[in-house]
Amino acid sequence: MVPELGKATVLMKNPEHVKDVISALREEGTDKLQVISDFDMTLSRFGFNGRRCPTSHNILDNSRVVSEEGRKKLKDLLHYYYPIEIDPNQTVEEKCPLMVEWWTRAHDLLLQQKILKSDIAKIVKESEVMLRDGVNSFLDQLHKRNIPLFIFSAGVGDVLEEVLRQGKVFHPNITVVSNYMDFDDKGVLRQFKEPLIHTFNKNNTVLENKEYSQQLSARTNILLLGDSLGDLSMADGVANMENILTVGFLNDRVEERRGKYLDAYDIVLEKDETLDVVNGILGYILRET
């Protein structure tokens, strides 16, 4: 059906279920399909040549517009909170207040840097961000076939949009919900817009604008892509969901987290920096293969 599912990076707890959902998505056709995806470490790469790639926050943190002192403080926050974010032994309830703390402290530090709106494009251009191999063809294909893509990100909206723009894949079928910057009339960052989105509140509580899901009420089949267990609630707002296929990238601390990912995601892609499997599935659903 989808030869890419035989790739060594693919893990599935219930391959029969995966097969059934993929068949249903194909049978019901493109008019009923929508894609919901995380951005950082899902559409963007986790690592390259043994080095970590930046998240949309890290793109700002590592740029020249941030002072050395600011950069050090932001790194300290990352080293303190990131292990909590991915800790398989802490509950979401325990993590949530700590994530709010991380995002709030990081955003406060960024606000002190007087970042200019007009600098964002240059900051992204000079960064080491990379999209996963195959993201371009994935996004081009969704656009070509008029399949809506909802990017739900706890990263920085202005930055991730610019990454997509520079990659020439910010197509009109894409809607982004994320943390957006608010600039004053001189174009200086003055605050982040509400509500704050962090790893574990990607759900209805931050989707003020329910219009999107209403507009797409006929698109009851979902392909969901994420890399955190928090990404699984991204489709909660979809009314009358019929079929959902969830694909999770397991990038880090794979041994400890494999069990939980296998329980939570239909397909787990372990240390896979490509969108090969997702493109294989999409091609099959769209009857292109």
Report the interface residues with Mg ion, using CB under 5 A.
38, 40-41, 227
Q: Per CB under 6 A, does 41 bind ligand TMP?
A: yes
Active-site residue 272, yes or no?
A: no
Active-site residue 40, yes or no?
A: yes
Helix (H) or strand (E) holding 33: strand 33-37
Instruction: Tell me the sheet residues that pair with 150.
Output: 36, 175
The nearer residue to Mg ion, 25 or 129, going by C-beta atoms, is 129
For every residue of 239-268, DSSP letters joined together read TT--EEEEEEEE-SSHHHHHHHHHHH-SEE
CA distance 85 to 100: 11
> Which one of Mg ion, ligand TMP, none is in contact with 57 (Cβ closer than 5 to 8 A by kind)?
ligand TMP
Q: Per CB under 6 A, does 201 bind ligand TMP?
A: no
CA distance 157 to 174: 13
Number of residues located near ligand TMP, criterion CB under 6 A: 17
Q: Per CB under 6 A, does 38 bind ligand TMP?
A: yes
Q: How far is the CB of 127 from Mg ion (least distance, A)?
A: 17
* Alpha carbon of residue 205 to chain centroid: 18
Beta carbons of 18 and 243 less than 8 angstroms apart? no
Q: Which of 10, 21, 35, 106 binds ligand TMP (CB under 6 A)?
A: 106
Q: Per CB under 6 A, does 65 bind ligand TMP?
A: no
The interface with ligand TMP within residues 131-160 (CB under 6 A) comprises 153-155
Catalytic residue among 20, 31, 40, 108: 40
CA distance 222 to 259: 24
Mark residues 250-279: x for contact with ligand TMP by CB under 6 A, - for none. ------------------------------
Beta-carbon count within 10 A of 116 CB: 15
CA distance 195 to 198: 10
Q: How far is the CB of 275 from Mg ion (least distance, A)?
A: 14
Residues that bind ligand TMP (CB under 6 A): 38-41, 55, 57-58, 77-78, 85, 102-103, 106, 153-155, 199
Catalytic residues: 38, 40
